[in-house]
Amino acid sequence: MENYRSQSPFSRFCLLPLIVVFTLQMDLSAQTSEKDADAAFIRKIYDRALTDGRCYPWLEHLSLRIGHRLSGSAGAEKAVQWTRSMLDTLALDSVWLQPVMVPHWVRGDAEQVRVSGSKKYGTFNLNALALGGSVGTPAGGVSAEVVEVKSWDELDKLNERGLRGKIVFYNRPMDPTKIRTFEAYGGSVDQRAYGASRAAKYGAVAVLVRSMTLRLDDFPHTGSLRYDSTFTLIPAAAISTMAAEKLSQVLKEEGKVTVFMKMNCQTLPDAPSYNVIGEIRGSERPGDVILVGGHLDSWDAGHGAHDDGAGCMQSMDVLRIFKRLGYRPRHTIRCVLFMNEENGLRGGKKYAEEAERKGEFHLAAIESDAGGFTPRGFSFDGDEAVFGKFFEKVSAYEPLLEPYGLKLTKGGSGADIGPLKGMKGLLSGYSPDSQRYFDLHHSADDTFDKVNKRELELGTASMAALVYLLDKYGL
């Protein structure tokens, strides 16, 4: 038989295209085989999460045995110790507590907020919760005429002449036309965050804020405020949407309404607490970290089940599933339960400081802090210098995730992982269906019975699937 060297130039020329075609076919076959392997492993992740998940019973214990976990509280400390003990049972490579000093605000006795002396309705209560970080009222309470505003322009036009000695009532609802409810929240939450100081600038003595929810109900929704120390610190409370509607109606009918407020909240000295951390060490690139996490603290009105017990338990279960499947990651996979997201972000800031001090690189960080509802996908963010390149690569994963209803989009990530942005890794926020989230957010209605087991487990699987792809292919 003739060998290749003995063939004519023309024969060799004819053979080259066949070699190229054969090589391309081999490459395509390898790629198809690799995709099949990825799809099969992702299927194993989902099967494990849906038949052997622990996130739901863990969340039951956290919600019903420990309860709310405001920074500095006994509940927060119990949650730290219990989650550490659970991570210790997973045979991880490392589990530790990262110390952090946190704000310690306490609500005190139940708020008293009521309309007094209405001509038509007499005296009636307004369901209310003090905003986190608010000062209390004087011992005898505050009683003053109420002025309703729906925009900053209205507030500024009234200025000191119309607001001195009054209680400002911010009544700008979340926009129901926004399909993305987080966009509606973002369009209204400024009045809760900054309303007290902007009213105090004009001499107001207190503030009431319509709760941040699209639902009409009688659950007031708390949340943090941000005082400007330039102005007097005045008490601020959220009232339920039903109470806001009623107060607005009485103002329209009668023109002048007096409200009495008594709040016993106060800020105590900072208290010691911890971020809770566990990890599986990477076999090839242990210095590169892929983080999954949520915030362990919660407001003091409900169980903090969706916000953010769900995200914490999902993150813990991601590591457990990898251990159960015998998966050896290339990069270090780390679960972080951050402390103090709700009223200070001290845990997220401390974690980033320590990571920088240790010279760690966070290849990717995924935060679950949007509730335990049906998975819809992930949004991504990052430093401008590298984000476009990273997102293009991650977008190639979408065909493997689409069978599970997941879409990958550009957008935000999460408050706790935000301080890691300077490391120039990829930041991601887990995005479940958001339509019911603000029905419960920061209210006494955020309880364990509002969590669906299957939806929660699907979220765990979705996060684990993305971690697997990031770990295998990197950025």
Q: What is the CATH number of the domain that holds 343?
A: 3.40.630.10
Say whether both 243 and 164 belong to one domain: yes
Quick check: bond before 308 cis, omega within 30? Answer: yes
Domain-ending residue, one of 208, 230, 264: 264
Q: Which of 341, 342, 367, 457 is catalytic?
A: 341
Residue 13 pLDDT: 46
Say whether both 278 and 368 belong to one domain: yes
Say whether both 221 and 278 belong to one domain: no
Buried b (16+ CB within 10 A) or exposed e, 19-33: eeeeeeeeeeeeeee
How far is 17 from 21, CA to CA, in rounded Å?
6
SS3 call for 98: strand
341 a catalytic residue: yes
Domain that holds residue 139: 108-264
How far is 392 from 381, CA to CA, in rounded Å?
12
Query: What are the start-end ranges of the H helices in 261-336?
Result: 310-324
Say whether both 314 and 346 belong to one domain: yes
Burial of 283 from C-beta contacts in 10 A (0-12 / 13-18 / 19+): exposed
Q: Which two tokens stand for residue 135?
A: 């000062």
41 inside domain: no
Specify whether the CB–CB gap between 420 and 352 falls below 8 A: yes
412 inside domain: yes
Residue 4 pLDDT: 38
Specify whether the CB–CB gap between 108 and 137 falls below 8 A: no
Instruction: Give, as one character, the DSSP assignment of residue 383.
Output: -
Residues in Cβ contact with 400 at an 8 Å cutoff, skipping those fewer than 6 apart: 35, 38, 39, 42, 465, 469
Q: Which two tokens stand for residue 272?
A: 């010691």
Say whether both 363 and 468 belong to one domain: yes
Domain-ending residue, one of 239, 264, 289: 264
38 inside domain: no
**221 HSE (CA, 13 A, CB side):** 27
Say whether both 351 and 459 belong to one domain: yes
User: How many other C-beta atoms lie within 10 A of the C-beta of residue 155?
Assistant: 22
What's the Cα-to-Cα distance from 274 to each of 84, 99, 277, rounded to whole Å? 10, 4, 9
Residue 19 pLDDT: 53
Residue 31 pLDDT: 66
Binned average pLDDT, 10 residues per bin, the chain of 475 residues: 44 51 56 89 98 98 98 98 98 98 98 95 97 97 98 98 98 97 98 98 98 98 98 98 98 96 98 98 97 98 98 98 98 98 98 97 98 98 94 96 98 97 97 98 98 98 98 96
SS3 call for 465: helix
Specify whether the CB–CB gap between 334 and 318 falls below 8 A: no
Residue 27 pLDDT: 57
17 inside domain: no
How far is 457 from 185, CA to CA, in rounded Å?
26
Tracing tokens 């659970």 back to the chain, one arrives at: 86
How far is 307 from 293, CA to CA, in rounded Å?
13
Domains in the chain: how many in total?
Answer: 2
How far is 359 from 420, CA to CA, in rounded Å?
12
Tell me the angle at which helices 310-324 and 9-52 cross, rounded to the nearest 10 degrees.
120
How far is 71 from 335, CA to CA, in rounded Å?
20
How far is 45 from 465, CA to CA, in rounded Å?
7
Say whether both 212 and 295 belong to one domain: no
Assign residue 47 a region (left: φ > 0; alpha: ψ between -120 and 50; beta: otherwise). Answer: alpha
Residue 5 pLDDT: 40
Q: What angle do CA 37, 40, 45 make, to 5 degrees?
A: 125
User: How many other C-beta atoms lie within 10 A of the C-beta of residue 11?
Assistant: 11
191 inside domain: yes
Specify whether the CB–CB gap between 315 and 368 falls below 8 A: yes
Say whether both 328 and 430 belong to one domain: yes
